[in-house]
Amino acid sequence: MSTSRAAAEPSRERVVALVLLLQRAWTDHHALTQEEIVRDLRVDEYPATSKSPRKVPAYVGHEAAVRQKFERDKARIRDLGFQIETVIRSDDLTGYQIDPSSGYAPPLHFSRDESRVVATALGFCGFGKSGAFSVFNEGPAGDGGLEFSAYLTPAIRAIKVRRALRFEYQSSVRKDRVVEPLEILHQGGTSYLVGREVGGGIIKGYRFSRMTSMPVVLDEKFDVDDATRALASSWRPQYQRRPTPIDVVVSTNRDYAELLVRQYDGAVTATKKDGRVEVGITFDSPHGALRFILEGADRVRLVSPKSLAKELKQWLGRVNRGKSPRAEDIRFPSAAAGDVLGQTLQLLHAVYNSEDGLRVSELANRFDLAPDLVRSIMGRLVTMEPMVGAYDGATTFTARVIKDCDDWDHEDTDDSTYRAEFVSDADEPSPFMWRDLFELNVALREASRLFEDPAIFSAIEKIEEVTSRFMRIEHPHNEQLLATVYAAVTRAEQLKITYVSGTSETAEERCVEPSEVKVLNGHSYVRAYCLTRDDWRTFRVDRIGAILAKSPVTQERPADSLVNWLTAVGDEGDEVVVVTESYARYLFEPLPGAQWVSLADGRHAVRFRSSDPAFLDHLMILAGPAAVVATENHASAGHALAQRMLSQL
């Protein structure tokens, strides 16, 4: 019995061919029927007895099986963010086509300086493996701080063309939502779709992380007036509809008081006779005030108002006290397989946008793939002729991939070059999906806090001109020393700092040599070699109290053992399962590597890793009565800390 190399990825070429074919059908104004596609679509098969491929039908089997396979392929294409349109042709038959602009933004041409600052910004704040990083950087992307979501592409497209959007959403219950999308807000590391309920008229925000289905752009168009735009621009993620300002006073030591003053604008302090410092802060709502006290944990003592003390006692008395199923009885879905369609299209567009082509080694390095996998994917693109027997004008792709081999006798190991030949000058493709422009905009605005460069703002202008200026990016955290720390990275400087850790209330001096700065969940972090600890450490920039001294780095340090240091917490430590109410999901959603499943009683279970018991204690304090640890050996997490906080009231 013969075998074929196509067996490993039997659907890859079929789905990629279908995407490119339906895009060309749009360009040629000739939608293709399912019958035409099933009858004529061809893919490569590599028999074991030959190096040369042979063309075989993409869809084979009984009619029902073929129809199911075709529908699954359409679903996979939609899950990447492309909109497959169904149209009635002039012959009254139903045809399919893909508007390329539903997934890809118009081509953007950055100057050399703009490309330079974009590459720097994406290294600081970006989700490069799945986004725009590979367009501007030759090496593989590391971990990034952006919350990546394929759902951004149809959402951005719907905002631009002013059409309603339908998606499934998980709040207290999971249900379909139909909204008129107005803008996207990125605040504190979290992205929200701000829109108007269809039929209800209420302006609401929807977390992209809670969308449970690919948003679908509907045919219904809508109009929006200036008053509605103003309401959308004023929306903020709050946890009660009518915020009531509240003044809070806490007592703490001098080190922690200085940290609070840096983090909260408008904070005032007063030093008491016993050396303690009282800090006064105004919050928009009682919820925000309570969250502040809980974050401070036993490092602060509440002075006023007394009404908050009563609520705090009730909260702390119920920390991690609920009931939950056993952790081993909770079944989490298996990890999703790699997105071969997205992977293939990324490789294809990298070749499209390289004038001289790219070698196997360059593609493998840029996308962090094995060279043999690159050869397999690109080999199919080289030979792709999906409808060789059709003559309806829809068979020609935008570009043909050409393979140049240095040693054809050893083709399987040669570092071949792949390049594109375009059908016409008008066929220049865009390397950016709409979600990539969102990523670029956020990354550039984050980078603008590090250094001033006119190229940053000219690049932002080009992006926002294409996207119609619908993105709103806000930075609520005060990181006064961020630019100074970043300068130490670029100048190879050693810093003497004071630092308050996430669970400490006193500052200690550290000597560090910063190597890299990145953003995660709205906070900036610096990776540095710590001479005080004689090892590599990660520091949160807003917890640096002061920079006491600077000096040049004079010697080499041992290599950092962590490549993706920013999200290492997602791969290390004990596995923990927590059962939480829906309204407390936001506490666990930012955890790197978190996995979710909905339970029969309406609650949600999240699985993650924690290498620091103190971190888990603080997490459970913040969750309060809304969450309980299901993992037996962490069943008492937060109890001792809650008791210490109660003793201070």
504-542 pLDDT tens trace: 888 999 999 999 998 888 889 999 999 999 999 999 999
Sequential DSSP letters for 157-209? HHHHHTEEEEEEEESSSEEEEEEEEEEEEEETTEEEEEEEETTT--EEEEEGG
Give the tokens for residue 224: 């929006």
Mean pLDDT confidence for 77-101? 88
b/e map of 529-552 (b: 16 or more CB within 10 Å)? bbeeeeebebbbbbbbbeeeeeee
Instruction: Please write the tens of the pLDDT for every residue from 359-413.
Output: 999 999 888 888 988 888 887 777 666 565 554 544 556 667 889 999 888 888 9
Mean pLDDT confidence for 101-105? 86
Give pLDDT, residue 571: 63
Mean pLDDT confidence for 196-205? 90
What's the distance, Cα to Cα, between the start and end of the chain in Å? 78
Q: How far apart (Å, rounded) are the C-alpha atoms in residues 381 and 166?
A: 34
Instruction: Please write the tens of the pLDDT for every residue from 331-353.
Output: 998 755 456 677 788 888 888 88
Sheet with strand 508-520: strands edge to edge? 535-540, 523-530, 508-520, 493-499, 544-552
Q: How far apart (Å, rounded) are the C-alpha atoms in residues 108 and 98?
A: 21
In this predicted structure, the answer to whether residue 30 has a pLDDT above a threshold of 60 is: yes
Contacts of 305 (CB under 8 A, 6+ apart): 246, 247, 248
- Determine which helix (DSSP H) or strand (DSSP E) holds 113, and give its type and residue range: helix 112-124
Is residue 641 exposed (0-12), middle (13-18) or buried (19+ Cβ within 10 Å)?
A: buried
- Determine which helix (DSSP H) or strand (DSSP E) holds 482, and give its type and residue range: helix 482-491
Give the tokens for residue 469: 């200026």
Q: Which of 62, 143, 135, 127 is nearest to 104 (CA)?
A: 135
Q: How, if at all, do strands 417-422 and 358-359 pair?
A: antiparallel
Q: Which of 535, 550, 417, 445 is nearest to 489 (CA)?
A: 550
**Contacts from 418-424 at CB under 8 Å and sequence distance 24+?**
418/351, 418/357, 418/358, 418/359, 418/360, 418/363, 418/378, 418/381, 418/382, 419/351, 419/354, 419/356, 419/357, 419/358, 420/351, 420/352, 420/357, 422/398, 423/396, 423/397, 423/398, 423/399
Instruction: Scan for tokens 């690159």, then name that residue.
Output: 374
Q: How far apart (Å, rounded) are the C-alpha atoms in residues 354 and 358?
A: 7
Q: Which of 326, 77, 3, 599 is nearest to 69 (CA)?
A: 77
In this predicted structure, the answer to whether residue 10 has a pLDDT above a threshold of 80 is: no
More confident residue, 596 or 342: 596
In this predicted structure, the answer to whether residue 204 has a pLDDT above a threshold of 90 is: yes
In this predicted structure, the answer to whether residue 647 has a pLDDT above a threshold of 70 is: yes
Taking all residues of the chain, what is their mean pLDDT, rounded to a whole number? 86
Contacts of 542 (CB under 8 A, 6+ apart): 259, 262, 263, 477, 478, 479, 523, 524
Q: How far apart (Å, rounded) are the C-alpha atoms in residues 443 and 517?
A: 13
Give pLDDT, residue 3: 38
Q: How far apart (Å, rounded) are the C-alpha atoms in residues 546 and 481?
A: 8
Q: How far apart (Å, rounded) are the C-alpha atoms in residues 103 and 78?
A: 10
Instruction: Please write the tens of the pLDDT for every residue from 237-267.
Output: 865 555 678 999 999 999 999 999 988 888 9
In this predicted structure, the answer to whether residue 206 has a pLDDT above a threshold of 60 is: yes
What percentage of the chain carries pLDDT values higher than 70?
90
Domain layout of the chain by residue ranges? 5-102+354-427
Give pLDDT, residue 4: 37
Instruction: Give the range among 338-352, 446-460, 462-476, 628-642 with minimum mean pLDDT.
Output: 338-352
- ∠277-283-285 over CA atoms, to 5°? 140
Q: Are 482 and 450 in contact (CB under 8 A)?
A: yes
SS3 of 350, please?
Answer: helix
Instruction: Please write the tens of the pLDDT for every residue from 280-331.
Output: 999 988 888 999 999 999 999 999 999 999 999 999 999 999 999 999 999 9
Q: Which of 521, 528, 595, 594 is nearest to 565 (CA)?
A: 528
Mean pLDDT confidence for 599-627? 93
Mean pLDDT confidence for 16-38? 86
Q: Which of 573, 562, 581, 561 is nearest to 626 (CA)?
A: 581
SS3 of 286, please?
Answer: helix
Q: Are 31 and 95 in contact (CB under 8 A)?
A: yes
Mean pLDDT confidence for 163-185? 92
Give pLDDT, residue 401: 85
Q: How far apart (Å, rounded) are the C-alpha atoms in residues 54 and 78?
A: 29
Q: Are 499 and 510 in contact (CB under 8 A)?
A: yes
What percentage of the chain carries pLDDT values higher than 90?
45
Mean pLDDT confidence for 186-215? 90
Confidence band, pLDDT 50/70/90 cuts, at residue 46: low
Give pLDDT, residue 497: 96
Q: How far apart (Å, rounded) are the C-alpha atoms in residues 259 and 308?
A: 22
